Amino acid sequence: MKAKIQEKFEALFGEEGILYASAGRINLIGEHTDYNGGYVFPGAINFGIMAAIKPNGTNTVKLFALDMDEYVEFEVGSEELPSKHWPKYIFGVCHEILKRGGKVEGFNAVFAGDVPHGAGLSSSAALESTFAYALNDLFNNNSIEKYELAKIGQSTEHNYCGVKCGIMDQFASLFGKEGSLIRLNCKTGEYKYFPFHPKGYKLVLIDTCVKHLLADSAYNKRRESCERAAAAIRKNHPEVDFLSDAKRLWLDEVRGEITEEDFIRAEYVIGEVQRVLDVCDALERDDYETVGEMMYQTHFGLSHLYEVSCEELDFLNKLARKCEVTGSRVMGGGFGGCTINLVKEDLYDHFVETAVEKFTEKFGHAPKIYDVVISDGARKL
Ligand code: GLA
C-alpha cells in the first residue's frame, strides 16, 4: 500500500509525501456505553488507513482517495462542505482543529485503506484519526493532546456527518497499542491498557455484509432515549450526569415516567456498563468462559432491549452457540456489520466453515471472515 500511495503522490505532486497511518477497531465489550459516560473496551486492529501528506504552501487542501480514484480540493477555512461523502471527514477535521485555535494550512494528500466499509470496524474513525494525527504533527508541533484529537474526530462526525457518536472509535484508533485492549472510562477519560493474548483462543469477526438503511438515524434515536431516561433519573438523583451513573434501582423508580421503549434501552446500558468491569476482572484471572458468557449477554441485550441487531446477526450468534463458541455478539453500532467471536483454536475451523456454509444457504450470499490482530493506532511511519 505504501508504494502505491507514494507513487500516486509523486505522480500528482512531483515529490514524496510524509506517511501517516491509523487503524480501525474492534470492541470486546461495552457497546453503546460511550455516549452514556460508561466504559468501553476496544483495541486498534491490523486494518487501517495510510496517507502520504505534505504541506503545499498555499491555502488549498488537495486530496486524492486511491481506493475511490477520486480527487477533491477545498480551501482551508471555507464554509462550503464538500459534496462527496469521504472528503467531509477531512474537511471536518481541519475545521475542528481551527475551531480549537490550532493551525491548518494547505496540504496535498493521497490516502488508501483496507478497513472494510459498513462492517462496524470504524473506517471513518481511522480516516479522521490519520488526518488529525498528521495535521497535529505537521502544523501544530504535536501540541494538541491525543485525547483532544479523538474529540476532533468525534466532533467531525457530529457536525459534518450527522452521526452523534461517542468517543470510542476515535479513541481506539488513536490510542491503540499492539497486543492490548484499552478500557476507557468515557466520562472521565481515564484509561488502562490490558494485554490481550488469550492462550488457546482466537478472535474472529464474521461480516454479514449487510448494512441496514437509516442506521445513522436509528443510532441517534438510541442516544436520545438514553438522554431522556437519564434526565428522568436525575430528578431524583442529581448526581447522575450520564445514564451510566445510575443504579438499576434508580431506573426502576422512574419506570412509570418514561416510555417502555426508553426504559428497556436504559436497562440494557446499565447492565452493559457493569459487564465491561466484569469482563476486565475475568481477564485478569484468564477466565475466558466468563468473558464469553458476558459477550452472549451483551448480544441478547443489543438484540432484545437495545434493538440494534438484525436477522443476519442473530443467525450468526445462534450458530456460534450451537458450535460451542466461547463468546459471540454483534459488534459496533449494529444494524448489520460483524459479529465478534471468541473461539477456542481447536473449534475455529469447524465454526468458520459452518458459519460460511449455513449463512450462505440462508441469505444467498457469503459472509466475510476477518482474523484480527490487535495492533498500533495512529502513528507517523
Ligand atoms: C459506533 C459509534 C461509537 C459507539 C458504537 C457502539 O461505532 O461510533 O461511538 O457508540 O457505535 O458502541
> Which tens digits make up the pLDDT trace of 223-270?
999 999 999 999 999 999 999 999 999 999 999 999 999 999 999 999
> pLDDT tens-digit profile of 141-177?
999 999 999 999 999 999 999 999 999 999 999 999 9
pLDDT at position 332 is 94
Cell 443504579 identifies what position?
247
pTM for the model stands at 0.96
Active-site residue, selected from the candidate residues 169, 207, 245, 376: 169
For 61-93, give one letter per residue: b (16+ CB within 10 A) or e: bbbbbbeeeeebebebeeeeebeeebbbbbbbb
Cβ of 165 closer than 6 Å to ligand 1, yes or no, is: yes
CA of 129 from ligand 1 middle (Å) equals 15
Query: 379: buried, middle or exposed (CB in 10 Å: 19+, 13-18, 0-12)?
Result: middle
Cβ of 25 closer than 6 Å to ligand 1, yes or no, is: no
Q: Is 262 in the active site? A: no
Cβ of 265 closer than 6 Å to ligand 1, yes or no, is: no
CA of 5 from ligand 1 middle (Å) equals 29
CA of 31 from ligand 1 middle (Å) equals 7
Cβ of 272 closer than 6 Å to ligand 1, yes or no, is: no
Cβ of 31 closer than 6 Å to ligand 1, yes or no, is: yes
- Please give the single-letter amino acid code of residue 290: T
CA of 105 from ligand 1 middle (Å) equals 31
